[in-house]
Amino acid sequence: MIRVNLLPPELESAPTEFNPAIIITPIAILLLIFSGYSYRQSTNALEEQRNEIKKASNEIKQLEPIIAKVEELERQKVELNKKKGVIQSLENQRLSYPQFMEDLVRLLPSNIWLSNLATISQADGSTMDITMSVTALDNYAIADLVSNLENSQIFADVDLGAINVSQGVGGSQSMSFQIKTVYKRMMAGADATKKS
């Protein structure tokens, strides 16, 4: 078969070539639309987060006075608990010293007197360390005092210090010394032995 082209060469159609712009253009447009949408979404999310941060900051500012008041009340509670503990400790030990003095006076011989008395209560409240500066008129009084303390059930660890003898007016003499001991009635509740 013979083919005859009767059209002038100007009107003759050019061979068709594939144009990639036809495919790339719609893809680029879709990508631009998607990018714009994503940007808008992230901008909106960021704006919402900023609004939430501002709202939370405002709430914190509103709650700061309340938080400060709660902290002040907690501090006052701690102070009151400390005061309560001190009061309870005093209440629990309020009769310790009168009882100690009664027990000690029962054990003192008649020719002895105290010139100084120091006490230290132990932290657990069970015993009390006693240091006494004592003056006696003779050796027998010292022996009686030491014997009375050692034989009692409420004093322990009796330690007699150095005895200093001094001469008084008219040839009389006096002896001064220190005794350290531990008072246990706070723990034991025992009665003092008889005074000799």
Collapsed DSSP state (helix, strand, coil) of residue 102? helix
Question: How far apart are the C-alpha atoms of 132 and 8, rounded to whole Å?
Answer: 144
**pLDDT at site 12:** 62
pLDDT (mean) for 133-140: 90
Is 2 a residue whose pLDDT tops 50?
yes
Model-level pTM greater than 0.75?
no
Name the region of 163 (left: φ>0; alpha: ψ -120 to 50; beta: rest): beta
**pLDDT at site 75:** 95
Strand pairing category for 112-121 and 164-167: unpaired
Residue-wise pLDDT for 6-48, tens only, equals: 767 676 665 567 777 788 888 889 999 999 999 999 999 999 9
